[in-house]
Structure 1
Amino acid sequence: MDEQHVAQLVERVVELEMRLAFQDDTLQRLNAVVTDQALRIEQLERRFELSLTDLKALRGLLYADPSQEPPPPHY
């Protein structure tokens, strides 16, 4: 191999290493974003379930069984 060919190979290897480093950094940042989003989704799901539980309890209070209500005073 002549020196020019070796220099081209070294240049290509360096370029590949730089690309790999950039992709590795990008992958780590994306992983951090996905992890944060997964945690946020879990928090929102818990809040949503609590809200549904509260809503069901309120519905039970607001819309009581009519058969258990006393008759109106004019009866």
Structure 2
Amino acid sequence: MGVLRIILTIIFIIDCIALSVIVLMQEGKSAGLGTIGGLSETYWGKNKGRSMEGALVKITKALAIGFVVLAIVLNLNF
């Protein structure tokens, strides 16, 4: 069980670092001020889920779920 705990801890650390990097790579919400002028109706505004920003949001969600699951598993006394 000790080896499994070490492996999970290493995965947890990698997940923490990756989550921090991905969050810092995302644009701030203030960058979306084009919606006031109607610029959100452009091609990039409609297809934001397929852009790099959309991919970063999906990766952030996956890493956050992994973070929570690993934190709970590592907190168990097994």
User: TM class by shorter-chain length?
Assistant: 0.3 to 0.5
> TM (normalized to structure 2)?
0.37
Which structure is richer in relative contact order (CA contacts within 8 A, separation 6 or more)?
2
Higher alpha-carbon Rg? 1
> TM (normalized to structure 1)?
0.38
